[in-house]
Structure 1
Amino acid sequence: MSLPAKTWFDALYQCQQQGKSYVLVTLLATAGSTPRNGGTKMLVCDDSAFDTIGGGHLEFEVIKQARTLLQEKTTAQKVEHYPLSSKLGQCCGGATNVLFETFTQHTQHIAIYGAGHVSKALVPILAQLPLQISWIDNRQGMLDEIAQQAQPNNVKLLASEHPADTVATLPNGSWAMIMTHSHQLDFDLVEAALRREDMTFVGMIGSDTKARRFRTRLSHREFEPQNIQRLVSPVGLLDIPGKRPVEVAVSMAAQLIQLLEPEKTSRSQQKQAWRENTQLIQSLVTTE
């Protein structure tokens, strides 16, 4: 995933907003001739790098080292010494110490199945949260239309003829929000998601009647009652009225925000947290 940032400080802000792990690289003391002065910084992610510490083989080796540190998935600091000699293919003749500061973030992944009106209202809201979003549909034309507008960096569009097959490929601990144009496809997705014990949220849009019918069908397929109860349907907070796509989307987003803050578990705490976000929610609705 690339970020639309050119400077390390812009990239740092975006990484923090999106919950993306990164390494902040800083040139410390330098001796002799070096491409950049001490204090110069760059930021390295697993798939991109921002700003420069002077380019050349030094920067290549530094980026490689930073990505090795990212794979360790631990927040840490490390200093490495680099002589700018023929060993690095640079003839500056100086030397520098490089500080690597690794910041690891846990980013929740969610798969949004369906590219209809509600999901079009929901995804822009979720994209402002520390989430990585896979937006999946079996209608290539729908996704092509969506792709004509620039999407947030934490949103990935995926066309699949058989969306239920993609459930097995989702990262461990993913969430699924199911809202396709087909009840049968919804059921196939629910069934595939519930077969994964690691999926911590499986939600489906629809009425109480639809949810009851799906639970009955699942029981006929020998799903255990406790597994069937993992299905959250209908989705969204009942406190939020309205049936317009943006109103439904805000209700669903509010429910997911609560999951991102699991310490707010009591009903009273959830209501209080929601009241604190009333102004934001109202602004989202009125801009529709």
Structure 2
Amino acid sequence: MSLDRRELADAVARHGTLARVVVAEHAGSAPRETGASMLVWPDGIAGTIGGGALEHDAILRARGLLAAGAPFARRLQRYPLGPALGQCCGGAVSLLIERIGPEELAAIPAEGVFARPVAPGPAAEPPLAVARMLRAARAGLGARPALVGDWFLETAGAPRTPVWIWGAGHVGRALVGATDGLPLAVTWVDEARARFPDTVPPHADMLVAARMPDAAALAPGDARHLVLTYSHALDLEICHRILSRPFGSLGLIGSETKKARFLKRLGELGHPPERLAQLVCPIGDPGLGKEPQAIAIGVIHALLRERSAAGESGITDRGHGT
């Protein structure tokens, strides 16, 4: 995950000074990985840190920070993910909530590592541990989002196309593996942490959603969706939710027979023919084979071709927030 300064600048131009909420640290099972972020302004939001009570509280705190009006305002908020937030996964997250306006935007690099204290005020001289990480990043060693003492570091990079992969089975895992190093912002969705591998690749943003179809409302309007869960009924409901809102593209794993059945049922649910024509099934290149890795190669090739034709995309608003 990386911070896109151009997307931030576009959002500030549209909505004025706003707040950015980023997962600065997580421990144990959490709905989003470190580096996941969302934007909040007085009457709207973009992105997600996982929804639910955690996101609701973060939105309220972000709007409170904006209302105070102080430049370079920041606060680090720690949350145990227990019953108080309607979650019993036993993990914990720390959220950095920071004001972003023209003055703050000027301090964010277009590329490289963006380091700042979690306390309010312009960044001063970084401590030794942070300075070492900055030197390593400049030497080409890269930097993952990290909370280092009282400082937070993340990489600022070029725009990436949002890709939502629904399902952590064999094909989902092959797809996520194939996206490593590509200009794609991958969100990987399934209904329980146990369905994912023990170690989720750092370039993918894991989203645990007990009711997966509800998570469709969290996706940006230009997201490329790949639906490949363990259940046809679940696939159908996810497709229904995606077709009910803006999206970039929609791919469904399966056969021509499955596609015909889905098109009939989705039509009965009220989706017009021109909308249904955007459903791609099967996905990938049949000539490459049916193995998960072969499907992944075909799908990624199509995604990159589509991205090249469409150009880079930015943050898409989710409308009014809580």
TM-score of Structure 1 vs Structure 2, range by shorter chain: 0.5 to 0.7
| Structure number having the greater helix percentage | 1
1-structure distance, mates of 2:305, 2:194: 33
Query: Paired residue for 1:11?
Result: none
1:188 aligned onto 2:237: yes
Partner residue, 1:149? 199
2:250 is matched with which residue?
A: 202
The Cα of 1:139 is off from its aligned counterpart by 3.1
Q: CA deviation at 1:194?
A: 0.6
What's 2:298 paired with?
251
Work out the CA distance in 1 between the residues paired with 2:124 and 2:159. Answer: 37
Distance 2:263 2:176 in 1: 27
Query: Among residues 236, 243, 261, which one is paired with 2:284 in the alignment?
Result: 236
Give the Cα separation in 1 of the matches to 2:236 and 2:21. 36
Aligned ranges for residues 53-92 of structure 1 at < 5 Å? 68-69=104-105
Shift of 1:88: 9.8
- Rounded to whole Å, the distance in 1 between the matches of 2:103 and 2:223 is 24
Task: Choose which of 162, 166, 173 in structure 1 pairs with 2:215.
Answer: 166
Q: Structure 2 CA distance, aligned partners of 1:254 and 1:88? A: 42
Distance 1:215 1:64, change over 3 A: closer
Q: Tell me, yes or no, if structure 1 residue 176 matches structure 2 residue 225.
A: yes
| CA 1:231–1:263: 2 relative to 1, 3 Å | closer
1:161, distance to aligned residue in structure 2 (A): 1.3
- Contact preservation (8 Å) 2:220, 2:247: no
Unaligned runs of 5+ in 1: 2-14, 24-44, 49-58, 77-86, 91-102, 265-288
- State the partner residue of 1:21: 4
Question: Which amino acid is 1:184 matched to?
Answer: A
1:116 is displaced (CA, Å) by 0.5
Aligned partner of residue 199 in structure 2, secondary structure: coil
Identity of aligned residues (%): 26
**Which one of 262, 272, 276 corresponds to residue 214 of structure 1?**
262
Partner residue in 1 for 2:153: none
The alignment status of 1:127 with 2:177, answered yes or no, reads no
CA–CA distance in structure 2, aligned partners of residues 180 and 204 of structure 1 = 9
CA contact (8 A) 1:127 1:133 kept: no
SS in 2 for 1:134: strand
> Is the CA contact (8 Å cut-off) linking 2:5 and 2:110 kept in structure 1?
no
Unaligned runs of 5+ residues in structure 2 are 7-19, 25-71, 75-98, 112-121, 126-155, 312-322
Counterpart residue identity of residue 21, structure 1 = D
Any idea what the Cα deviations from partners look like across 1:224-278, whole Å, max 9, x if unmatched? 100111111111124x4211111111111111111111179xxxxxxxxxxxxxx
CA contact (8 A) 1:110 1:175 kept: yes
Preserved contact between residue 237 and residue 254 of structure 1 (Cα < 8 Å): no
| Runs of at least 4 residues off by over 6 Å | 63-67, 87-90
Aligned equivalents of 2:107, 2:269: Cα separation in 1: 40
**1:104–1:209 Cα change, 3 Å:** same
Cα offset, 1:22, TM superposition: 5.0
Q: Deviations over 1:54-108 (max 9, x none)?
A: xxxxx999x9889821799x979xxxxxxxxxx9999xxxxxxxxxxxx873221
Distance 2:234 2:279 in 1: 15
User: In the alignment, is the contact (CA less than 8 A) between 1:70 and 1:104 conserved in 2?
Assistant: no
Q: Cα RMSD between the aligned structures?
A: 3.8
Deviations 1:154-175 (A, max 9, x none): 3111111110000011123111
Q: 1:195 and 1:60 mapped to 2: Cα distance?
A: 37
Q: Is the partner of 2:251 in helix, strand or coil?
A: strand
Higher RCO structure (Cα 8 Å, ≥6 apart): 2
Using a 3 Å threshold, how does the CA distance of structure 1 residues 125 and 89 change in structure 2: closer, same or farther? Answer: closer
Q: What is the match of residue 275 of structure 2?
A: 227
2:200–2:206 contact (8 Å) kept in structure 1: no
For residue 139 of structure 1, the aligned residue among 186, 192, 211 is 192
- Distance (whole Å) between structure 1 residues aligned to residue 211 and residue 298 of structure 2: 28
